[in-house]
Amino acid sequence: MTFNGYGVWAIYRFEMARALRTLWQSVVTPVITTALYFVVFGGAIGGRMQAVDGVAYGAFIVPGLIMLSLFTQSIFNASFGIYFPKFTGTIYEILSAPVSSLEVVIAYVGAAATKSAVLGLIILATAALFVPLQVLHPVMMLAMLVLISVTFSLFGFIIGIWAGSFEQLNFIPMLIVTPLTFLGGSFYSIDMLPEGWRTVALFNPVVYLISGFRWTFYGAGDVAIGISVAATLGFFALCLGVVMWMFKTGYRLKA
């Protein structure tokens, strides 16, 4: 046997079943949260805001809000998925099973990414109810959606393995990812920032991701699409590298 497909499928299904069991928490909560953003920023405030780059403000924030959900949900799903077995001790079974580290990653990250990609599409559909939407490059949009779901699920997987407590599990999403996303142009174009701050903003990796995703909707972003794609792939490669290293060394998994 060179690839334990049954094993990957078993973990993947287990993780998906967990999401269905906690449907309320997995899908309904993020959708309601995002809908609130649309009501407040799109409906109430958006009407008084001028269009950004020729796009109505309500529509302008849609890609950023989807990204915000993708980031947080991917990280949450993947980190919790691997942290919980570590916490309860059921990880023993995964460690003693004939599954390679790559297969474990494919299964957990695949399940987490599937959940957040589906969620992203649900949020997109929700958004369409509130604001007029257009997607200029649908194929690129889907590709970015999947790539970013996978990348942040990998990132979440790393956090889940690293975390030694539930507090640490929440630390990075709450204290790093959410601020970077808010400051990364979810709600504005970084061109709206003063010159100095614009330069600072370019050090925020999230800017490139949101910009790229917005480009697939409206054909315009804060940075060139090529740079966005390169940044996304770079982050993906970095996360993949860290995960492979963790499994190779048994970091925080095996004594």
Partner 1 sequence: MPVIEIQGLTKTYPSGLQALKRVDLTIDRGEIFALLGPNGAGKTTLISIICGIVNASTGTVVADGHDIRKDFRAARMKIGLVPQELTTDAFETVLATVTFSRGLFGRPGNPALVEQILKDLSLWDKRDAKIMTLSGGMKRRVMIAKALSHEPDILFLDEPTAGVDVELRRDMWAMVRKLRERGVTIILTTHYIEEAEEMADRVGVILKGELILVEEKTALMKKLGKKTLTLNLVEPLTTLPADLADWDLRLSPDGGELEYSFDANAEDTGVPALIRRLDRLEIGFKDLNTRQSSLEDIFVSLVHRDGEAA
DSSP 18-44: HHHHTHIIIIIHHHHHHHHHIIIIIII
CB distance 117 to 149 below 8 Å: yes
| Nearest CB to partner 1, comparing residues 6 and 197 | 6
- State the minimum distance, in angstroms, from the CB of residue 99 to partner 1: 7
Question: Could you tell me the sign of the dihedral formed by the alpha carbons of 206, 210, 215, 220, in that order?
Answer: negative
Closest to 30 (Cα-Cα) out of 3, 60, 66: 66
Applying CB under 8 A, which of residues 100, 168, 178, 204 lies at the interface with partner 1? 100
| Nearest CB to partner 1, comparing residues 23 and 51 | 23
Per CB under 8 A, does 98 bind partner 1? Answer: yes
Beta bridge partners of 52: 55
Given the rule CB under 8 A, which of 15-23, 32-40, 47-55, 218-226 is the region that contacts partner 1?
Answer: 15-23
Residue 84: other Cβ atoms inside 10 A: 15
Longest distance between any two alpha carbons in the chain, whole Å: 62
Going from the C-alpha of 213 to that of each of 3, 152, 222, the distances in angstroms are 34, 15, 11
**Which tokens is 225 given?**
């699409």
**What's the alpha-carbon Rg for the chain, to the nearest Å?**
19
Applying CB under 8 A, which of residues 96, 139, 167, 248 lies at the interface with partner 1? 96
CB distance 210 to 227 below 8 Å: no
Applying CB under 8 A, which of residues 44, 95, 175, 192 lies at the interface with partner 1? 95
Given the rule CB under 8 A, which of 11-19, 72-80, 203-211, 237-245 is the region that contacts partner 1?
Answer: 11-19
Closest to 232 (Cα-Cα) out of 110, 173, 150: 150
**Which tokens is 141 given?**
């949009």
| Nearest CB to partner 1, comparing residues 7 and 110 | 7
Applying CB under 8 A, which of residues 21, 32, 192, 252 lies at the interface with partner 1? 21
Chain positions 216 to 255 lying near partner 1, rule: CB under 8 A, are 250, 254-255
* Binding residue count for partner 1, defined by CB under 8 A: 27
Per CB under 8 A, does 92 bind partner 1? Answer: yes
Per CB under 8 A, does 101 bind partner 1? Answer: no
| Nearest CB to partner 1, comparing residues 132 and 250 | 250
Per CB under 8 A, does 88 bind partner 1? Answer: yes
3-state class of 52 per DSSP? strand
Per CB under 8 A, does 6 bind partner 1? Answer: yes
Given the rule CB under 8 A, which of 2-10, 61-69, 153-161, 175-183 is the region that contacts partner 1?
Answer: 2-10
| Nearest CB to partner 1, comparing residues 9 and 197 | 9
CA gap 159, 169 in Å, rounded: 7
| Residues binding partner 1 (CB under 8 A) | 1, 4, 6-7, 9-11, 13-14, 17-18, 21, 88-90, 92-100, 250, 254-255
